[in-house]
A and B are shown apart, each in its own frame.
Chain A
């Protein structure tokens, strides 16, 4: 199974991963639309990338009242924007606080591991410090 691993100590907070994610998903440079984000800590001198953990039994999908989030066999969930009502129940249900809604569409911005990109996830491809890496388990 493929997932993204975060090594927070390596993160320099350059946020290239956020822009790369938004660029491949929305076609524009738009961190607010990214499926991950960097959280600053300690006077903004330490940083943690926040990325969907792709849970085996995703609570976000379990609580979705409209069936817009569908669990995937390899972990994580896929969103159907047509069915999503933007209620935000998934965001509240995420035990890690790693999910957020698009400020424009209110659809959850959930990581899809860039499955349609042969090069793999854009965030990991962009991170020079290897704070976000692809891990096969």
Chain B
């Protein structure tokens, strides 16, 4: 089988058995990656399962381009019924694991049941074993990885959960190496509920491609396109890139309390931090974008960081200190927690302290922290959440559940959609984000990232015109203050992201990140790899099917549950650097959601 490895490995941890299923049973209809993962989740009917029970399944999906020379061909989609949203969980991770899984001979990995004791799943080509991991339980991610490399060899690649996943924190992620994480929607908690501390994989097989010379040439053309794009240069200075977007109120401050951001000061400090501590760049498998930074910070040694989560910690927790953000990030890395959810939780706690609903004194006592330093309190809180100690146990349930339990005043300040904590980008100033947060498949904005309005102005309009042609849609797409036509942006970005996620390449090299690789280029790469003609329109049809599968899964999960709109706070005015900003108009958002569903044909 060209491009695909050919097999889906299904491991039943309860029965301690594994079987293989041909990928070709699914690939014609679902292509691969996220598409086949969704098909497997639907087939398993795990919408009925408690997300943290053995009845839930955990799926990992590479795509037909993963492990090849196609640019950014590193990705693995991770899916399960989410313990955070109780809808379809979906996360994505790069690094080296995905290609290695394919070299071992598997496109997808399905984990069923639960191990009786802490276990590690070892996949060494055709040899699949479930081995004890009692001595690793409780260890942080880096220590676990070092122990596994010692036990199995440094040529294995690992997926690991930290104490956060072990303790079933509902927003725990799965980590791989120092750079990579499948953070959102609690996939680490699902892995922890299965008593699976880690997955180790090593492969020695080839991925065949149908037309090697033409595939090689197509890969080189795509790579050159990336290297010549502004996006490639921007990766060298993320703070500078952020500066370009913050003057429009792109980031909220605190717990969506205001949009008054200390932009210059925070970004200058972030740049100083980069200059002082960044010692190199790194990349996922086969990726020319090299979006990862290597840092050497006293006290934490050499570590990697991707997608710069520091702004989340600085803004949402309202602690304007890059060292705090770094330390918070390192704790999340070690304990395996999602930085976005944690930053949101800190914002929730910070606001509750400010208005007096939480007591400083009691919180300090609960966390065993002395002194008045908010930094130390917040860092202790992150650790307590990972260990589910004291108030950490409640907050490990996420702000939605914690708010409900603590009472109405807490509940109204829980910034989430369907149980997934909102991120720092601000939907009141960027109305495309309001639609993205509202309708996206997993509750955040990333699957429909409205980059045209983020860039804005003539540059944003020119980017939008490439997608929609010159006209009113492109004009509206670049206008952050309107919801008109944003359903087209949402659908376009979702399709682009889903295409990348199904092929097993990174969506960051596509227009979802302002990068140049579009569906036609991806179709050409797939065509040469598989030896069968695919067009951009074909990929769009697969993407549409994939999105509809999310609707189907979520529809079965919800049953009686009413679909949640955004938190009420976002529909009210808010102060910003440019004065008062109106809240999102509810009736306009509802109308935009309707137009989106009509466009998706899911009404």
Which residue numbers of A lie inside 8 Å of B, CB to CB? 9, 12-16, 19-20, 22-24, 26-33, 40, 42-47, 103, 122, 125-126, 128-129
Given A9-B280, A128-B288, answer yes or no on A28-B206 (Cβ-Cβ < 8 Å): yes
In the bound complex, CA of A23 to CA of B217 (Å): 11
A14 contacts B285, C-beta separation under 8 Å: yes
Measured CB to CB, the closest approach of chain B to A24, in angstroms, equals: 7
Question: CB-nearest residue of chain B relative to A14?
Answer: B283
B287 contacts A14, C-beta separation under 8 Å: yes
Per a CB cutoff under 8 Å, which of A13, A16, A46, A125 touches B302? Answer: A46
Measured CB to CB, the closest approach of chain A to B177, in angstroms, equals: 6
State the majority secondary structure of interface residues on B: mixed
- Residues of the A chain whose Cβ atoms lie less than 8 Å from the Cβ of B287: 14, 16
In the bound complex, CA of A12 to CA of B207 (Å): 23
In the bound complex, CA of A16 to CA of B505 (Å): 14
Q: Most chain-B Cβ atoms within 10 A of its Cβ — which of A14, A29, A42?
A: A29
B290 contacts A29, C-beta separation under 8 Å: no
Question: CB-nearest residue of chain B relative to A20?
Answer: B69
In the bound complex, CA of A29 to CA of B216 (Å): 10
Given A14-B285, A15-B286, answer yes or no on A23-B178 (Cβ-Cβ < 8 Å): no
B215 at the interface (CB under 8 A from A): yes
B177 contacts A44, C-beta separation under 8 Å: yes
- Residues of the A chain whose Cβ atoms lie less than 8 Å from the Cβ of B216: 20, 23-24, 122
- Residues of the B chain whose Cβ atoms lie less than 8 Å from the Cβ of A46: 280, 294, 302
In the bound complex, CA of A76 to CA of B278 (Å): 38
**From residue 272 to 328 of chain B, which have CB atoms closer than 8 A to chain A?**
279-288, 290, 292, 294, 301-304
**From residue 76 to 104 of chain B, which have CB atoms closer than 8 A to chain A?**
96, 99, 103
Known: A9-B280, A30-B207. 7 other contacts (CB 8 A): A13-B282, A14-B284, A22-B206, A30-B206, A42-B302, A45-B294, A103-B204
Interface string of B175-209 (1 = CB under 8 A from A): 00110000000000000000000000000111111
B417 at the interface (CB under 8 A from A): no
- Residues of the A chain whose Cβ atoms lie less than 8 Å from the Cβ of B205: 30
In the bound complex, CA of A137 to CA of B209 (Å): 36
B302 contacts A28, C-beta separation under 8 Å: no
- Residues of the A chain whose Cβ atoms lie less than 8 Å from the Cβ of B67: 19, 29
A45 contacts B280, C-beta separation under 8 Å: yes
Given A19-B69, A20-B216, answer yes or no on A32-B285 (Cβ-Cβ < 8 Å): no
Interface string of B510-521 (1 = CB under 8 A from A): 000000000000
In the bound complex, CA of A103 to CA of B226 (Å): 34
B212 at the interface (CB under 8 A from A): yes
B227 at the interface (CB under 8 A from A): yes
A28 contacts B220, C-beta separation under 8 Å: no
- Residues of the A chain whose Cβ atoms lie less than 8 Å from the Cβ of B178: 43-45
Per a CB cutoff under 8 Å, which of A20, A23, A31, A128 touches B209? Answer: A23
- Residues of the B chain whose Cβ atoms lie less than 8 Å from the Cβ of A14: 283-288, 290
A28 contacts B286, C-beta separation under 8 Å: no
Per a CB cutoff under 8 Å, which of B206, B280, B304 touches A29? Answer: B206
- Residues of the B chain whose Cβ atoms lie less than 8 Å from the Cβ of A129: 281, 290
B258 at the interface (CB under 8 A from A): no
- Residues of the B chain whose Cβ atoms lie less than 8 Å from the Cβ of A26: 206
In the bound complex, CA of A12 to CA of B223 (Å): 15
Given A16-B69, A28-B206, answer yes or no on A45-B288 (Cβ-Cβ < 8 Å): no
